[in-house]
Chain A
């Protein structure tokens, strides 16, 4: 597609429920990143996918968070047993060959855990 597409744009969920967030990167971009931005804060790195390499999961805050990328394209970020501190905007970005060539971000998913 023309840009990075994320869905849903907004998600309200009850504490303890699982949620799935989706990211459709720009066609042909081999690198995909997930970041999290809490209210009024900067961006926190979560996970990085590059082609068929093993993902860099070093930013995932707990084992309740996981992500996969199928077929080198669409990615899903899953948060299990959501907690109120998980409330944030989850941003996905893609890049042609990796971070050294610049990112393009999606519009984000605003997650609210009540």
Chain B
């Protein structure tokens, strides 16, 4: 299966700081998704981004499919951004996503 690696594994930010989270995948994919798992365990879709760049408020994501990586940018971080960020890539048949091990983000006031 596809190997999905995320970095850094842990990140602590001062409120207001910016950060970049990275996701590398071992094979070409035709889709990539970023999720935020809040401290209560709920997984929230952030981006469905097979290629290119998308922005949603303070968050943006870029996927460079030819180089097999995706980046998630968080600007002006807030304490509510805390949680675990996962990226996930599907199998060719779409029957499952392979998840990375996540980046645990803590934003301190």
Contact = CB atoms under 8 A, between A and B. Distances in A.
Given A100-B30, A102-B45, A104-B45, A42 B94 contact: no
A105 interface: yes
| B interface bracket (residues with beta carbon within 8 Å of A) | 20 to 34
B102 A33 contact: no
A93 B48 CA distance: 15
Interface of A: 31, 33, 37, 41-43, 45, 48, 50, 56, 59, 89, 91, 93, 95, 98-105, 107-108, 110
B101 to A, nearest CB: 5
A42 B45 contact: no
A99 B98 CA distance: 11
Contact of A103 (B30, B33, B98, B102): B33
